[in-house]
Structure 1
């Protein structure tokens, strides 16, 4: 595969890929401005952490309907609807003068993201020239760039004002919307219309429910790092942006390059359990040294190494846990992971306020240890995931949902 042939893609592909970069930037974009928002709007860490909670809760619930919506509207209309919703609510968040308003508008942002990510990769695969593998590589590159760039962009814009990152997303997403509208060919609704209840029915499958519960518990550790660490760090928006840029860069590299190699050599399940154990240790170390900024900064970056591997391989585990349609299994998993894990950011902030800054990291570490135990309970039903296996297209296709 030559680089020149890989890069010779239709304009529609580049339009959707650009939108993917901006959508993934939203993951870490708000990290550098959490403390400035709290300081300027006189809010507590737990109140500001609700920016993550509302976003995740609505996105998790919305995952139950995205399949039904996209099967009725078609890929292009679903993409455009999601992009339009993000533009509106990110701009409204920037205009808000209260934490309550920002939290509410972040919920709308989560709805838009759910609609967008439901069809992003499918649009790239269907429009790309060359093989499906090339399209997936392009998509994963967009994912990696977006995750890594989010904190950096948020940190730089945050030096102007905490409102600037929200306005920046609105402008960039509007450009992506116009590009997608003009360049992406029209798509027809799918022949079979997906039912809203299918993802809930899918959770009757023990293997799928086990992996989903593992992800829910792991999210407690994930969002302790993401939503709480900026407060004890107590640095400028730019400094926090640089630290989380290191986190995002590590996450992107291990997600795309390291995870598939480990999976091919050892199998998904043993690697996930090992990486989760290492992540729990990282959280405990951060808890012990929570009063030392260098310990927290290094802990955040190191966490990115583990989170990238885990996100990718847990997604593979979801795809391999059941014979149900990938979209149905992914929606069920995302509903449990996002909606259930939405409490984690708020809880971390509340524990830090009510007790001390050490406790949130210890609680997050314990939750990740429980995630290892839950996954271990499925050692026999998930035996096929202990077999070394090459990186699959199904895994890449669900990475949007895993990392959004």
Structure 2
């Protein structure tokens, strides 16, 4: 990381690097925990619908590929909206951008729960994706700016919130889905109302006055893509997301479980994701370096997807492989996020916007593609295809090692 970037980090946190390193991960201001709690609820939306996909398909007479559009519409809007998050947050400030995102998520998750046909839910999930885009990009920057202990600890906190949200989401989806598929949607809306008040009361107004004066341009995320390292990680994450969202959107259809069973499987998956993102990923970074550890995780994930693709009809194989994939994904999420934050000499919000735009393209295409591949061929093909994409992500990062290896040294500074 450049000297200019290091000085900005110090300025944002009003402390020295040595002081930051001594700070405990759990010794954080109330504002950090408010954003942390809101992040958990926001990321519940990702895994929330996993256990109820089959219920929605049955109740609303929808095909598997139509139901996977609940992920595709959500992620497609997140990809496009990622470009505008920097311009919005620079004008509103982190706090009010987060609050806007929370309000949109609460309102449109409630509307989804009150809908009576699959296309209405797909549409409301798309607008929900806009709220999540505003929230996700800003939450990471807010936690880094407000937290004590340095970049690395802040990213671990953020990834822990993601892991908890993703793990609790399926559990909540399974429990509330046992009454009705509408329950999880309405449950998230209620929890987001609580998150709204937490952020409103405890988070201070953070506003980058310099960014406001110059007016962050919509073109800045595209300008950031002139940095090859950022593009490499973005494309790698887009290909990796073909695997990630094939697991989330299509694996529920091949496990042969009811709504409660699916909830418990994805709970176990999410718990492993949360634990490894917080405790194992930093150790892998220290021992192997960020880039090499990332490529190892891509390889292991591809192997698990291939196992599901080969033994799709033996229900315990997808169940075990999906649960184990949580450990791989947890490590990889932290590794990639750390790498992106140190990849290019641009503002973090701009780097986050460019990266989210690239990665959510893969996240948007993958769910619908998985459903269609199963309809056109058989249930084995989506997982084998996803394994190929994940292998490609590892190859792209690996072949560009010379251009991205600097993130290993940048990460060690924090």
**Is TM > 0.5 for Structure 1 vs Structure 2?**
yes
1:168, distance to aligned residue in structure 2 (A):
0.1
Query: What is the TM-score with the length of structure 2 in the denominator?
Result: 0.88
Q: For residue 201 of structure 1, report the CA deviation from its aligned partner.
A: 1.7
Instruction: State the distance in 2 between where 1:302 and 1:264 align.
Output: 23
Secondary structure at the aligned position of 2:257 is classed as coil
Match status 1:320 vs 2:342: yes
Equivalent of residue 53 in structure 1, options 57, 60, 72:
72
Partner of 1:34: 53
Aligned match of 1:102: 121
Question: Structure 2: how far apart are the matches of 1:185 and 1:389?
Answer: 29
Using the alignment, how far apart are the partners of 1:313 and 1:136 within structure 2?
10
Structure 2 residue 239 is the aligned partner of structure 1 residue 220: no
1:344-393 Cα offsets, whole Å, 9 max, x none, are 100001111121110111000111111122122202222334x5775676
Deviations 1:77-102 (A, max 9, x none): 11111111011100010011111111
> How much does 1:341 deviate?
3.2
Q: For structure 2, list consecutive stretches of 5 or more residues without a partner in the other structure.
A: 1-21
Query: Is residue 224 of structure 2 the alignment partner of residue 175 of structure 1?
Result: no
Residues 388 and 194 of structure 1: is their aligned pair in 2 closer, same or farther, counting only changes over 3 Å? Answer: closer
Aligned 1:284-323 pairs, distance under 5 A: 284-323=306-345
CA RMSD after TM alignment: 2.2
**TM-score normalised by structure 1 residue count:** 0.90
Matches within 5 A, 1:341-352: 341-352=363-374
1:310 Cα deviation after fit:
1.2
Query: What CA deviation, in whole Å up to 9, does each residue of 1:3-45 have, x standing for no partner?
Result: 8x946843x4443332121112112111000110011111111
1:130-162 per-position Cα deviation (integer Å, ceiling 9, x unaligned): 655776665454333222211111111110100
How far, CA to CA, are the matches of 1:283 and 1:55 in structure 2?
Answer: 23
Counterparts in 2 of 1:270 and 1:13: CA distance versus 1, 3 Å: closer
CA offsets, 1:52-111, max 9 Å, x none?
A: 111111111111111110110112211111111011100010011111111110111111
Are the structure 2 counterparts of residues 276 and 140 from structure 1 closer, same or farther at C-alpha, using a change threshold of 3 Å? closer
Match of 1:80 in 2: 99
Instruction: Tell me if structure 2 keeps the 8 A contact 1:265–1:389.
Output: no
Aligned pair 1:65/2:87, yes or no? no
CA distance in 2, matches of 1:300, 1:261: 23
1:245 is aligned to 2:267: yes
> Taking structure 1 as reference, are residues 70 and 180 closer, same or farther at Cα in structure 2, changes over 3 Å only?
same
Deviation for aligned residue 1:320: 3.0
Distance 1:363 1:194, change over 3 A: same
Match of 1:161 in 2: 180
Alignment: residue pair count: 389
Is the contact made by 2:137 and 2:353 (CA closer than 8 Å) also made in structure 1? Answer: no
CA distance in 1, matches of 2:158, 2:294: 23
Alignment partner, residue 198 of structure 1? 220
Displacement after TM superposition at 1:221 (Å): 0.9
- 1:336 pairs, out of 328, 352, 358, with 358
What is the CA deviation profile of residues 300-329 of structure 1, one whole-angstrom value per residue up to 9, with x for unaligned ones? 011111111111112222233322222212
Quote the residue 2:390 is aligned against: 368
Instruction: Label 1:121 to 1:206 Cα distance change in 2 as closer, same or farther (>3 A).
Output: closer
Return closer, same or farther for 1:161/1:257 CA change in 2, 3 Å cut-off: same
Residues 340-349 or 165-174, more deviating: 340-349
CA distance in 1, matches of 2:23, 2:291: 34
1:175 is displaced (CA, Å) by 1.7
